[in-house]
Structure formats: structure tokens, C-alpha cells
A and B are shown apart, each in its own frame.
Chain A
Amino acid sequence: MLQPHEMSPDQLRARYEALLDAARHRAKASAVAVHPGHIPDGSALLHETIPGGWYWSARLRRGTALRLANPHGTHGVSALFWNADDPSERYNAADTVKVQWTTHLTTGSLLLSDMGRVLMSVIADSGHGHDALLGGSTPETNRRRYGAEGLRNSRENLQLAAAKHGLDPRDVGPCLTFFASIRTDGDGAFHWQKDGAQPGAAIDLRAEMNVIAAISNCPHPLSPDPAYAPKPVTAIVWTPPPVGPDDPCRTAGIEAERAFVNTERFFGP
């Protein structure tokens, strides 16, 4: 096999375009949506209601899953994830969208770390849309949006959650926001899509490493609601069925397979 440094520009371009074509083919075929179902009796390990405006965090063991459910249709729930065994490795917003060739996260998508490994995989999703670009609210976005000081926000919530695990603000990079669907138009302008925050939306994320998860229940900066009115959401940690070789997250594409290989190498042979 020709090594990359031996390839001509034309050969490198052809390889890139083949990967892009494969990604577009997968996007068109779009994986079968799996809706978060009933959690089998006895497999729930922890159940938490996160009040509007507040945050929560937990250590998730590799192989367990986190369900986030939005019963009342609150406008976004922001999140960050770190490798609990070495928190210098964390969720990487840029690699997550670049490697998967899309900002659209749903069943079968991966949340990738900066080390080319899988932190979390989306094993089920009600499919109403999430925001992998803009992130969450900050003191400044709340000030501009609501004209008020001191409203709880995701930037500070995630810093607080990180602090409870020995981390500091340097460890709090760009986050992602579930239950907030954002469309990027032809000029690059961002638009809130109301579908994302539907009452009853839910997502199941399986931890592929030992993970510190931080969740902030504050409205997305593009929420159209003129009032600051976050509603409670639930977080359930549970034990999903073990991962098989035909796991749909793992087989979602060549990039996903390689990210899982990197993850397994971290845990040793």
C-alpha cells in the first residue's frame, strides 16, 4: 500500500474525495433511527431530576449509558465530557463534526475526544436535533438576551461541575447542546429550529471510556423564548446491552471503526 508521504497531490485528492463520497452516501442512506425505549427493570443505576438553570455531573463507567430526557420541552441542555482516567483528554467539538463530516448528531453518531477516541456514542435518539456548533449560554449571552445579570448559564455551570472533579476553567472548552436544533443557512447564519426542544425528546449516550459527564440545564443562546424559563430534565444512568461487533455506532463508517480501534488500544489488548 502506498504511504501518504509517497502519494502525489492527485492521489491524495482522490483518496479524500473517496472518503467524502462515502460519507455523503451514508448521510443519504441515513441510519435507522432508534428511539430511546423502556429501560429494563433493574438496569437503572441512578435517576436524577436536574432543575431548570442547574447542573449535574457524574462519573460514568465504560459501557454504561446516560439517558437525557426532556419531558417539558426545555430549550436546550448543554454538556461536556472528559476521560475520567486522564481528564486532559476531553470532548472535542471540532473533531466531532469534522471527522463525521456533519454537524447533525443523531442515532449512530459519536462524541469524539481530542485524542481520536470515542467518549460517548449515541445509541438512541428521538431525532429532533441537537446543536454541535454554538454551544451553551454564558453570562454575556444571557445579558444580551434577557437584559439581566446573574441568571444561571451553561458556561459557569460547566465550570462549577468541572471544579467538583478537580478540573478548572481551562478544562472547560466548547460544549454541545442537546434538544436545540440549529440550522446553518447558505450565508452561514445560524437559525433556531423549533423541532429540537420538543416535549418528550430523549437521547441515550453510551460511555465508551470511563467518563466524567457534566450537564447544564440552561436555555440555548438562540432560544426564541423571551422569558428565561428553563424546565426540569431527567438524567438516568443505566446499563445497556453489551457492545457487539455489529454495533451500529461502530459500523457507522470507516472513521467510526478507526475511532473505536483507537479507544480499545487505550484500554490495552
Chain B
Amino acid sequence: MSAPVRHEADAILDEVIPARRPWSHVVRRGEVLRLIDTHGQQAVDFLLYNAHDFGERYSAQDTWALGGRAYLGLGSVLVSNAGRPMATIVADTCGNHDTAAGCCSVESNTVRFGHETRYMHACRENFILELGRHGMSKRDIVPNINFFMYVPIRPDGELTVVDGISSPGNYVDLHAKMDVLCVISNCPQLNNPCNNFDPTPIRAVIWAAQP
């Protein structure tokens, strides 16, 4: 069975998420969310919550336990902390997305890169503000997915954020298995290569559920 072709002209939503900015949207069960790395090498920090019960949220550890593999790609099931599928990756022109390294924060930046980086914008600032719009707080942030961010984990344990492997126009399609609140931080990090030291806009496109 071949995957259905999705035409952007048929989308029910098509938005540009500016560089460094947060975004959120409820994607209904059956809808498909496409995230497009329009310029290439742009990390997209991504969290998922059950739209009807925010206590149920994306869990990297439950996702790993089911998938058995550190990196996410075509066929990966994104699993909640209640062990339920929230979304599946039904198309992916990049592959090897990270879900180990979490989001950047001004606090972890001080540890990794020095206290002089304390006043640089970071993903956790975006997440706190965007989650706040939905009545959530810092407590509700869990280690997220980083689409288009490449973090190889070596057999000896070394874990390193290296240059992104996405080309301009690469995309990933998520098929929602429940109504999900998707929260994005379009990563502003300048202290490591995850955005090629030049954060760029991305695009979010949603298609309606197929009957």
C-alpha cells in the first residue's frame, strides 16, 4: 500500500513559524501535521499533550521502550506516559531525529557554554510561555523530540549534537492517533551546530482526517 499523496493546496492550515519563535496548535485525531524544514539544518523542538488531559504527554522513554531505537523516523510511534500512541510518523524525508538531548535552556547553556551565555534566548523560554497559554508551566516540560536535529549516540556512550542532516524542504508527517496539543519551539540556539549557527523559519501544514 503506497502512502497517500498530500497536496499542500488541500491543507486546512499552512503557517510559517518564524525563526526563534514558539507555536502551538491542536491537531485532531486522524489529521496529519507536516513540519517542513524550509531552509535545512533547523532543529524543531516538539512536545505533544493529550488535548483533553494535559497530564498525558509525550514520553521519550515510553517511545524508546516500544520502538527499541534511539532515533525517530518513518514508522516511529510517539507514545505517551500512559503507554498510548499519540501520533505516528507516516512520512519522513530526513530520518534520525533526536529525542535524547531535550531542549536548550538559559540555565543549561550556562553550564555547557559559560555564564556569558545566560542572556541568550533558548527553547525552554519558548516552551514556558507557550505552555503558559494553555495553563501549563515549567513542570509540564519533558524531554522533547528534536526534529531535524542529529545527535548520534556511540556504543561507548558519547552523545553529541552535530551538524543537522536535513536539506532545505525536508519534512516529517505526523498522523495524530488522538486529539493532541502540539507545542513547538523553533530553536534559537547559537552555541552548537543544531541550527548551523543561523536559526531559520519553518512551516507547519495540516491536512484533515481522511474519511
Contact = CB atoms under 8 A, between A and B. Distances in A.
Interface of A: 1, 3-5, 9, 12-13, 15-16, 19-20, 24, 27, 88, 92-95, 97-99, 101-104, 112, 114-117, 133-136, 138-141, 155, 169-175, 183-190, 221, 255, 258-259, 261-262
Contacts of A184: 70, 153-155, 157
Interface string B95-125: 0100011110101111111111100100010
B142 A15 contact: no
Interface of B: 55, 59-62, 64-66, 68-71, 79, 81, 83, 96, 100-103, 105, 107-117, 120, 124, 137-143, 153-161, 190-193, 196-198
Contacts of A172: 81
B139 A170 contact: yes
A98 B102 contact: yes
A242 B142 CA distance: 33
Instruction: Indicate the member of A4, A94, A138, A186 with the most B CB atoms within 10 Å.
Output: A94
Contacts of A175: 61
Given A3-B116, A134-B61, A95 B102 contact: yes
B55 to A, nearest CB: 6
A221 B114 contact: no
A27 B70 contact: no
A187 B69 contact: yes
Contacts of A12: 190-191, 197
A112 to B, nearest CB: 7
Contacts of A104: 156-157
A173 B155 contact: no
Contact of B142 (A24, A140, A173): A173
B53 to A, nearest CB: 11
Nearest to A259: B111
Contacts of A187: 69
A258 B111 contact: yes
Contacts of A115: 107
Closest 4 CB pairs of A and B: A94-B102, A140-B83, A104-B157, A116-B107
Contacts of B139: 88, 170-171
A103 B157 contact: yes
Contact of B114 (A24, A138, A258): A258
A190 B55 CA distance: 28
A65 to B, nearest CB: 23
A262 B111 contact: yes
B100 A97 contact: yes
Given A88-B138, A116-B110, A188 B191 contact: no
A173 B57 CA distance: 10
Given A141-B65, A184-B70, A258-B115, A27 B137 contact: no
A116 B113 contact: no
Contacts of B105: 95, 114, 116
A172 B61 CA distance: 12
Contacts of A171: 139
B150 to A, nearest CB: 11
